[in-house]
A and B are shown apart, each in its own frame.
Chain A
Amino acid sequence: MNKSLKRLVIDTATPYLYIALYEDNVLVDSIYQKGNNDHSVTLMDNIAKMFDKASWKIQDLAAVIVGIGPGSYTGVRIGVVVAKMFAWSHNIPVFKISTPALLASGADNGVIFAYVDARRNQAFGGVFEKTDETLVRLKADTYADLTTMLDSWTYDHPVNAVMPDLNVVLNSELLEAVDNVHDLSPVYLRKTEAERNQEQNK
């Protein structure tokens, strides 16, 4: 095979901006840095710089892989919208994965509690088993009290900030192809406050 497989991975559902460029499963360039509620400013800016540096073009991509949350509502939308527009613009296959799963892919082997901080000591978290080869889910992503999850769930180590590992992700069934790019949307896990209030008042 002559044509190399170029893959772009994005996640903006956590306080960290994560962008990675992989060519034939080898990491070409990456960013994993704590943001300041400014993924809207930094995501496209950094993608543009990294693509320039690597002399990549969006139309060369074999796949776009995006973390779809659950996590920060505003944050996750930035990455999902960018992935969606890239995929749609050049008809590129797009794949989605849970953000906690993406975090777990970068953790040490074992049973991982991966979570994204939310406000008021709440978090979005799930439990995964990670080996050198792959990642499987043991407990569904949940929105709950962080202390309760940390204290009562069973795991070897918790992670909430770690650079993902695409090679683990690629072998995992948690990575899902998106059949129709127009359907790509974040997973929020929670209805909006307005909807919850409305349901309560019924």
Chain B
Amino acid sequence: MIVLAVESSCDETSVSINKDGKVILSNIVLSQIDTHASFGGVVPEIASREHVKGISVVFEQALNQAGITAQDVDLVAVTKGPGLIGSLLVGINAAKAFAFAHNIPIVGVHHIAGHIYANQIESEMKFPLIALVVSGGHTELILMKEHYDFEKLGETQDDAVGEAYDKVARVLGLGYPGGPIIDKLAAEGEATYPMPHIKTEQLYDFSYSGLKSHVINMINRLRMKKEPINEKNLATSFQHAAVRHLIEKSRQAVDDYQAKMLIVAGGVAANKHLRSEVETHFKDVEVSVPPFKYCTDNAAMMGIAGYYYYQRFKKIDAMDMNGYSRLNLSE
């Protein structure tokens, strides 16, 4: 089965083609990151405009690189949410038009399911598994007992971990996006600044607003007193605390559900410190972190998720399919 997938939920225009939910024949990603960098974050209206400009070219490149024609495609999968609504609607309508023009069935897929299924590309899911989904918009723990079966165990009660990184980087004047910048800086520093131990009411929930405020207040205090700030050490201290919180909650969930596998998904999965901490703390279970290129938003992961969705439910969507800025993983 050949699946063509479309992803446009934020600032990446992407089309990918896979065979049988495994082999990635092509994965074209047109990133707008340079366009949005000068605004210090993604501007939704600009993102939507850029998606329209790039969408057909990305389709064409994906087919060409895969060495197939539209007639070879058996299923179209497209991100239906969550995400920026204007951006989602470009991808969804492009996917519907393509599917209709070639008489191909279409399925709408949840963006987070895509991030989780990025792990199926180079490894094999083993159930039950715990998925830690970490990105600029998400910090969630999800239990999977079989393919395309998601149970949300917990989530952030305030900021997503990626948001906290962005905010800290901005206050330090380091630029955007904050994740890779802080990760790089932190690799050269030491955890010398005291950080709070994060607590949440529910066992599997996360919270990042307290840590974020702590760091920002500390920076402001030091600046007021005109004391020097060791940016590298501050980055290390913040990153260690942020990652420790993720590790602790994941460890708890893996133990409680006797998971055979821990999956780390989402843009923050590219973080080097998180990767090494996961390796250190989960020697007893199989750990899967997708290759870097499948961590950030891309259509390859959506295509894999689309394949498994279709295998499990044998259900397709109609031409009135819509996009949703907010969407539950079970929908």
**B68 at interface, CB cutoff 8 A:** no
Chain A residues whose C-beta falls within 8 Å of the C-beta of B49 in the assembled complex: 77, 185-186, 188, 192
Chain A residues whose C-beta falls within 8 Å of the C-beta of B48 in the assembled complex: 73-74, 77
Contact status B322-A41, CB under 8 Å? yes
Contact status A85-B52, CB under 8 Å? no
Chain B residues whose C-beta falls within 8 Å of the C-beta of A162 in the assembled complex: none
B44-60: contact bitstring with A at CB < 8 Å (1 yes, 0 no)? Answer: 01101100110111011
Contact status B100-A47, CB under 8 Å? yes
- CB < 8 Å: which of B38, B43, B52, B96 contacts A44? B96
**B1 at interface, CB cutoff 8 A:** no
Contact status A80-B86, CB under 8 Å? no
**A194 at interface, CB cutoff 8 A:** yes
Contact status A89-B39, CB under 8 Å? no
**Which residues B63-103 have CB closer than 8 A to chain A?**
70, 85-86, 89-90, 92-94, 96-98, 100-102
Tell me the bound Cα distance from A45 to B322 in angstroms: 11
- Secondary structure call for the B interface: helix
B317-331: contact bitstring with A at CB < 8 Å (1 yes, 0 no)? Answer: 011111100000000
The smallest C-beta distance from A13 to any residue of chain B, in angstroms, reads 13
Count B-side interface residues using an 8 Å CB cutoff: 34
Chain A residues whose C-beta falls within 8 Å of the C-beta of B53 in the assembled complex: 185
**A42 at interface, CB cutoff 8 A:** yes
Q: How large is the interface on A (under 10, 10 to 19, 20 to 34, 35 or more residues)?
A: 35 or more
Q: Which of A40, A89, A192 has the most CB of B within 10 A?
A: A40
The smallest C-beta distance from B215 to any residue of chain A, in angstroms, reads 27
Contact status B45-A194, CB under 8 Å? yes
Chain B residues whose C-beta falls within 8 Å of the C-beta of A184 in the assembled complex: 56
Chain A residues whose C-beta falls within 8 Å of the C-beta of B46 in the assembled complex: 192, 194-195
Chain A residues whose C-beta falls within 8 Å of the C-beta of B100 in the assembled complex: 44, 47-48, 51, 58
Chain B residues whose C-beta falls within 8 Å of the C-beta of A182 in the assembled complex: 56-57, 60
Contact status A88-B60, CB under 8 Å? yes
Contact status A74-B38, CB under 8 Å? no
Contact status B90-A59, CB under 8 Å? no
**Which residues A62-98 have CB closer than 8 A to chain B?**
73-74, 77-78, 80-82, 84-86, 88-90
Chain A residues whose C-beta falls within 8 Å of the C-beta of B38 in the assembled complex: 198
- CB < 8 Å: which of A38, A81, A89 contacts B70? A89
Contact status A186-B97, CB under 8 Å? no
**Pairs of residues from A and B, 5 with the lowest C-beta to C-beta distance, nearest first:** A85-B97, A89-B101, A45-B320, A58-B101, A194-B43
Known: A85-B93, A185-B49. 4 other contacts (CB 8 A): A41-B320, A81-B52, A89-B70, A188-B49
Can you name 30 A-B residue pairings with CB atoms under 8 Å? Answer: A38-B322, A40-B92, A41-B321, A44-B93, A44-B96, A44-B100, A45-B320, A58-B101, A73-B45, A73-B48, A77-B48, A77-B89, A78-B89, A80-B52, A81-B55, A82-B94, A82-B96, A82-B97, A84-B55, A85-B55, A85-B93, A85-B97, A86-B97, A182-B56, A185-B49, A185-B53, A186-B52, A188-B49, A192-B49, A193-B45
